[in-house]
Structure 1
Amino acid sequence: MVPQQPVRDRASVPLATLLDEPTFAASLLSPAPEALADDPALAERIRNAPVASTIVIELDDPGAYMTPGDLLLITGLAITGDAAADAAYAQRLHAAGVSALVFGLEPVHARVPESLVRACRDLDFPLVVLPPPIYFAAVTSHLNRALETERTRALEAMNTVARRLTEATMQHRPAQRLVDELAREGTGWAMLRMDDEVYLGGTVPEGVDLDALTGDLRDRLHAPGGTRRAGQPAFTTVAVPDPGAAAGAGGSGSPHSGDYAGGGAISGGVEHEVAAVETTPHRGRARGGSAILALGRSPRLTRTDLTALQLAANLVGLILQLPAAQSMAVDQLLMHFMIETSGTRIAGADRDRFARLVANSLGGAKHAHAVVAIRDPGRQIGSDPVADGGTVASDAVWLRRLLHTPFVEHRAKRLRAFTAGPPRPSELALARELGWLLAVSSAHDFGELPAAMREAEELARAAAHLGHHIDGVAAPAEAAWPLGAAADPVVARAAAAHWLAPLSGPDQEEVREVLTAWLRAHGSWDRAARDLDLHRNTVRRRVAEARALLGRDLDDPLERARILLALTALQSDA
């Protein structure tokens, strides 16, 4: 038996669209009713036979004019009742990939010739009979409406898939998110191999030898002298055990098929069609090689699957390009101010040149902020959690896009960056949504970047303790300064500075001093005035000013205790 070729490039509807329409009263003569009853998989395959168009050809050899997915409608002008001729007729249709043969009774034949029925049943080829007075025009109109509806549905579905795949590449861990989205629907599963990295999406059938499958796909993609054009997918099949189900019916769905399940074919198993595309970086060879993206589905891939695979392969090309190393100058600059520099300031003749390089790299900025990103310990995002909050290179790519800066690196459990300006509220919100906490230093001169990073590191410890972002520029969060932070002096200073940010400016120095003295005097105006050698009304004015700036209830003893502890923590850093 010659297997039917799958419909690859046209919208299609299942043969059941015709069989289930009551106005046509269509009946299925082949395969035989008892065969369909004994083999549910065969019945399902017949009902799902893809119909992409309807054609009426009353010739002895219509197969020469047919393409895979065509539905042939005849009245039997070319059917003579000769068993050999009818068998050859059915064989030619089946070999051409015709979805089904539809036989209209009258005016030529009062019943379908038995020789044609036997020939179709020998091939498990669908033979549908239409009773009079059904006109082929009505069948064609019905199927064309269904096909147009399917085209619209497929277009809408493809738009959704394209949006999800594109959004996946814009998030952190784009490779894992991309294969997750590619395998999102139905029984699909996906595999992406980039160098030594392997990403799996969906549920890969148990027992599939991924190494053997990858080798087979790579051979097919690189096979010399084949008819496959560059950029087209290569196809194979894998068979996996299915102890509780009957053997799958039909062909492999691919002209090149092999069985890879633990290294060998599975008799009576479930077949998954697999397609793969090889892709390279869009510009240059950022990662030094190509990637293979594969998508599998049982029993076979759909037209939408293959379109999604091609789109995802293009996006993999972007992913391969994104982690590319910066230019040599930028790489050396990163090493210089993030790793090799000791002390808090860059001194000597290199300072001006260093500042110019940083300013040019940040688009002409005058100052820079250090940013440290850590994983929110209370959240796990997506299906690709990282043990112990670790980071990978693609996380640095995501943060580089979020902060619009070339200066990002990942180190163990944190990301570190320098930016021209602090993250916007929308960027902070996105980072939090993706499970990240950001600590942002105040603005520093380019010669003080090591000090800026030390500040951000301290703020990051406080951010982990508080469970929210700490932006050294923006107003503090509403969470109270924690009494428990006093156990860690570094966290205490960073958290206190964030909480008391409204009093941190040089213009508020006297306010801080008066507020500290008043709190230490247990709220006594007279004692605070004597300790500071100020008038009692001056103390009242400064405390009222502090109350307004902080927005805190200074009549609450607990609130006063927190403020005093925070002020004390800040003074310990003076």
Structure 2
Amino acid sequence: MVSVIMGLSTGGRGFACEKRMGKPGARRVQCGWFGPGTVSAMALTIRQVVALPDLGLRVLTPNSDLSRVVRWVATSELSDPGPWLDGDELLLTTGMRLRDDPDSCAAYAEAVMASGAAALGFGIGLTFDSVPHALLEAGQRIGLPIIEVPTPTPFVAVSKAVSRSLAAEEYEAAERSFGTQRSLIRAALKEGGDVNVVSLLARHVNGFAVCVDAAGGVRAASPPGAARRIGEWRAELERLRPQGVRASSVISNADEHVAIVPLGVKGGGDGFLILGASSALQANDVAVMNLAVSLLSWGLVRDAGRGSAWHRLAIDAIRREGSAQVPMAELGLGSLEHGSARIVLAIAAESADAGTVSHAGDHAGELAAAINALPSSIATALGDGQVLAFIPESVVARPDARKLLEEAGRAVVSGPVDLDDVPAVEATIVRARRTALSRPGLTRLDDASAIGLAGLVDPGTARAWAHEYLRGLRESSEGPELLVTLRAWLASHGQVDATGSSLGVHRHTVRHRLRRAEALLGRGLDDPQVRADLWFALGQVDP
């Protein structure tokens, strides 16, 4: 049996297909740009969770697979929690609905196992003084790890400990990703850039990387022996080549995950990057890979004598440079040959009427492409629906350009900026982004009446005040979730139901988060002055 699912998104480069081979150990092939289904989230193993300090957790099922991953902690007293789980959770329960008999325990263990939960954490001291023996037997029989949660340990302590550990891992991975991105940009600017980029990328994923040209010839490989494997992917390269830059593949088996990504700016593509690792790429790894794709594409385009395409790719690198701290002058932004320009930061609408696109990611890609089609203009989609563009003054005034920006959802147009003035460019990008995040519609930074209160306050002073105002939230482990909720609630004019719909959570969850936010802020959200201050403060900090 072979099933094939194919589709084409509205975003130009969104081709996707999936092929599954119906036999044991067969590989799965997915084609398309990497979405949530092809990127691995941060996770701990059961062994790591049990070892967390001050929890007193104990594995009660001998020979359990403690290498199973835990991506989150969930609590449920339902007999069948499956419909409310995503998989890979540590499921916590006190067994309120569990009967201490073999049939009931077996049915419950099988339901938990079928839900995809990584392990069952059983809290003792409320319903049962110890974990029922029948449940332990059932878990041992079907391979479900069962962990005892002692009476003094509240479930929320387990949840917080796992959350903190996951956050620490994510922070460490992000730091490592930023470091690699800095190195990649510098490596690409040196002699032998492609070889340098491929070597760094392979080292980052602890695997291999191969860059090939349009004909399948190897331009660079790391380790060098990876070039000898090109024959393994020849058929897949031939299948992808006619689709140009619209498709990619992820080839997975038990031992290896290989991503094949096209290189180039548009059309038929100029080559491929083949990246292999022992496990699925994390989100930060994908960000590193995407930068490498941009830099390798630049190398291919440059060598093909199409140096003007570097302008678009340079903007992609400059966006990443914001965190990588590489001088923008090194990237040649000043070589853009249209003199003084306007910087545009747009955030694509999440929903749109006729003539626009319903998905922010797709809309951002289309918006960037449309701006690139304007005379002497350069744009790139940054992720999260954001687009950064450099447009000549004369072009910004054109009706088609204005219409394009008005349909973006949120767009900020700077005053004239000399692109050779690197500090001014950097400061303007930051200011434009903050304004776009806080104001819907089209805003011009050189129109004092349109930029609002934020434009009248020194940005450094405003940011320092905002950090102090939000200190209680930002220092809490719940802070990121509460800040997102407050933004959505204020944007929904204090309507709880609308906030819940926009966040995809129940209205009771919104109310609970608002109460927690009030406690951490030390201020009541019913006060209109507090709401105004909070909205201003949120506009000064990164979302």
TM-score normalised by length of structure 2: 0.43
Structure number, greater radius of gyration: 1
